[in-house]
A = this chain, B = another copy of it.
C-alpha cells in the first residue's frame, strides 16, 4: 500500500502545523450526490450499500472524485452495532431506522452480551477495501455511535426527540441503564479497534443524542462511557496511535469536560462560537466544525462569507478541521458543497503562516 500522500487532516487532529485547514463533510457520501443515488438504486437499499464492501467502497470514494477533500469516512451506519447485538435493524421507506426488539425489560437488559465481532465483518471488510481503493490519497476515518446514543435506539426502538423511555430508565433504574451502557461501550471499543486493525487511520464517536441529557446526566450516562472507549483504543498494526474525535451534537456547554477525556479532537456544532470554544478548551484538543449545513442551501456568496467568518473565529494557529456541524442535507446542490471546500482551501492558508 502506498504511503499517505496527504496527512493534513491527521496533523490537524494532533494540533501539528499544517499549510491550510483540512476539510471534510459529515455524510459527504450521501443523497445530495447524483452518483450516490445511482449507486443506491443499483444496490437496492441503504443497508445493502453498507453491507457490501464493494458498494461501500464505491460510495465512500464518490465525493473524493468531485472535491479536494482531506479525509474519507467509512460509509456505514452507527446502528450496525445494535443490529449485531441482536435487536434487528430495519428501515421502512420514508421513515427512520427501527428495531424489531427493544431493551426495556430487566431480563432482556441483563441478558445483553458483547456480540461476536464476526457479525460485523462486512464493516471491517469495507474498511480494508476502502483503504486499498484510496491508495494513500487521504486518511480513512472509522466511526461508531456513542453508547448513550446507541442505547436510546435500543431502548426506544427508533430515533426520537424526547427519549422519554431511555430517560425514565436513567432516573428510575440507573443500574439497568449503566449495565446496558457498559456492555455497549465494550462492544464499541472492540468495534473501533477492529476498524483500526482493518486500516482506519482516525476514529470518530458520534454522540448524536448526548445533547438531550441534563448537564449532570450527560457526564454520567454519555461522557463517562466515551471516556472508557477512548481509553481502550489500540494503535495501528504499525504501532501508530490513532487520533480520536468525540462529537456530542448539542453538547457545546460541556466542551471543558469533553476535552478532558483523552480524545484528540472535539466535534462542535454551529451553536458554538469556534473562537470561544478554542479559548475554553485551550491546547488540550483540536476542534472540528462547525458550519450549519442549512447554509449550503443558500448561495455561494453566503457560503463563502460563512467560511470566512468561521476561519476568522478560530483565527491563527493549527488544530482546526473544517467541517459541518451535522450531516450534509440531501437537498444540497453539489456545486454549493464545492463552494464550501474551495473557500476553505483558498482562505485558510493565511491562518497557518508563521
**Interface residues in chain A, defined as those with a beta carbon under 8 Å from any beta carbon in chain B:** 161-164, 167-168, 171-172, 211, 213-218, 250, 252-253, 270-273, 276, 292, 294-295, 297-299, 302, 306, 309, 329, 331
**B294, A167: Cβ atoms closer than 8 Å:** yes
B161 touches A161 (CB 8 A): yes
- Tell whether, in the assembled complex, residue B213 and residue A171 are in contact, meaning their CB atoms are under 8 Å apart: no
With a CB–CB cut-off of 8 A, which chain B residues contact A302? 171-172
Q: Which 8 A-B pairs have the closest CB atoms?
A: A171-B298, A167-B294, A214-B270, A172-B298, A171-B302, A168-B297, A215-B273, A214-B292
Distance A299 CA – B298 CA, assembled complex (angstroms): 47
- Give me 15 A-to-B residue pairs in the complex whose CB atoms sit less than 8 angstroms apart, sorted by A's number: A162-B294, A163-B294, A164-B294, A167-B292, A167-B294, A167-B297, A168-B298, A171-B298, A171-B299, A171-B302, A214-B270, A215-B270, A215-B271, A216-B309, A218-B271
Dominant SS among interface residues on chain A: helix
A294 to B221, CA, bound (A): 15
Closest residue of chain B to A313 (Cβ to Cβ) is B216
Q: Which of B162, B217, B306 is the one whose CB lies under 8 Å from A171?
A: B306
Let me know if B271 and A164 touch, CB within 8 A: no
Which residues of B sit under 8 angstroms from A329, Cβ to Cβ? 162, 164
* CA distance in complex: A331, B162 (Å): 12
- For A292, give the chain B residue with the smallest CB separation: B214
Nearest CB on B from A302, distance (A) = 4
Bound CA–CA A273/B219 (angstroms): 12
Docked complex Cα distance between A292 and B306 (Å) = 34
User: Is the CB–CB distance between A216 and B171 below 8 Å?
Assistant: no
Given the complex, which residues of B lie within 8 Å of A253, measured CB to CB?
A: 252-253, 271-272
Q: Which residues of the other chain, B, contact A172 by a CB distance below 8 angstroms? A: 297-299, 302
Q: A171-B302, A252-B253, A309-B216 in contact; A297/B161 too (CB < 8 A)?
A: no
Query: In the assembled complex, which residues on chain B have CB atoms less than 8 Å from the CB atom of A273?
Result: 215-216
Q: How far is the CA of A305 from the CA of B293 in the complex (A)?
A: 39
Question: In the complex, A272→B168 CA distance in Å?
Answer: 19
B250-A295 in contact (CB<8A): no
Chain B residue nearest in CB terms to A294: B167
